[in-house]
Amino acid sequence: MTNDVLRQAPLFSALDDEAASALRSSMGENRLRRGEVLFHEGDPGDKLYIVTDGKVKLGRTSSDGRENLLAILGPGQMFGELSLFDPGPRSATVTAVTETTFLSLSHDDLLRWLEGRPGVSLGLLAQLAGRLRKTNEVVADLVFSDVPGRVAKALLDLADRFGRTADDGVHVHHDLTQEELAQLVGASRETVNKALADFASRGWLRLEPRSVVIHDVERMRRRAR
Ligand code: CMP
């Protein structure tokens, strides 16, 4: 893990080097294999986490057993703070999508750390505000967009965070099954498969197991609008 990854996390971005290493040394480390659960929706929670390598999915299960994914988080992204700022149980189940490593900090240590560091508190507020903005967009898309539009948008979002540009396009190793992709856009696997196959037949992307190569980002952007 590099310091660059930690610098993306709101807890670290406002700190000088000395403060960053002091905070880093007070954090624990965890590692999960693909499919392992860090905690379940409804569990009590006393820690927040920063992903240092790999990816996790944040999911919720309906009373009839259907699953919805709220987000896929990767290196530098933080989670597990809601149960501190809005005391209550964990709001989502966190499962490793690939082998994943995390740093963790207890809620008590976080509160102590925030004392006298308004810059760090502002960083956390900025992250919460950004998440609310994104959630509003997801809700609007569920109401106003069709499934292909939502699939295009989800792939572009994954490309922004996990994509690597090559001669033939942007390679996005999202590591998600088609079922997980469907849970992320709130649609059935069949409908999502149909949208992906349509994009592929138009030459906008190429499908590979747990990844896609986006050949035509501009068309995908227009489809996502
Ligand atoms: P907590 O409720 O402690 O545990 C689950 C975590 O998932 C939660 O804190 C947030 O950090 C994170 N989380 C919940 N909803 C979202 C969302 N819509 N987008 C990104 N992260 C989320």
What are the sequence ranges of the domains in the chain? 4-142, 146-224
Indicate the fold that domain 4-142 takes in CATH: Jelly Rolls (2.60.120)
Which residue among 37, 77, 91 has the greatest number of ligand 1 atoms within 8 angstroms of its CB, and so is best to mutate? 91
Instruction: Give residue 140 CA to ligand 1 midpoint distance, Å.
Output: 19
What pTM was computed for the model? 0.92
Average pLDDT, the chain: 93
The H or E element that residue 32 is part of is strand 28-32
Spatial separation of the C-alpha atoms in residues 107 and 216, rounded to whole Å? 44
Please identify which residue in the block is written with the tokens 């709001």. 91
Average pLDDT over residues 183-201: 96
Ligand 1 midpoint to CA 189 (Å): 24
- The CB of 124 under 6 Å from ligand 1? The reply is no
Determine which residue's CA is closest to atom 8 belonging to ligand 1.
Answer: 80
| Burial class of residue 174, CB neighbours in 10 A (0-12, 13-18, 19+) | buried
For residue 195, the CA-to-ligand 1 centroid distance in Å is 28
CATH fold match for the domains 4-142 and 146-224: no
Q: Is 29 exposed, middle or buried (0-12, 13-18, 19+ CB in 10 A)?
A: exposed
| Digit-coded pLDDT (tens) for 122-147 | 989 999 999 999 999 999 999 999 99
Whole-number Å distance, alpha carbon 4 to ligand 1 midpoint, is 23
Residue 91: CB within 6 Å of ligand 1? yes
How far does residue 219's CA lie from ligand 1's centre (Å)? 31
**How distant, in Å, are the alpha carbons of 95, 139, 147, 148 from that of 73?**
10, 19, 22, 22
For domain 146-224, give the fold. Arc Repressor Mutant, subunit A (1.10.10)
**pLDDT, tens digit, 9 for 90 and up, residues 199-224:** 999 999 999 989 999 999 999 999 99
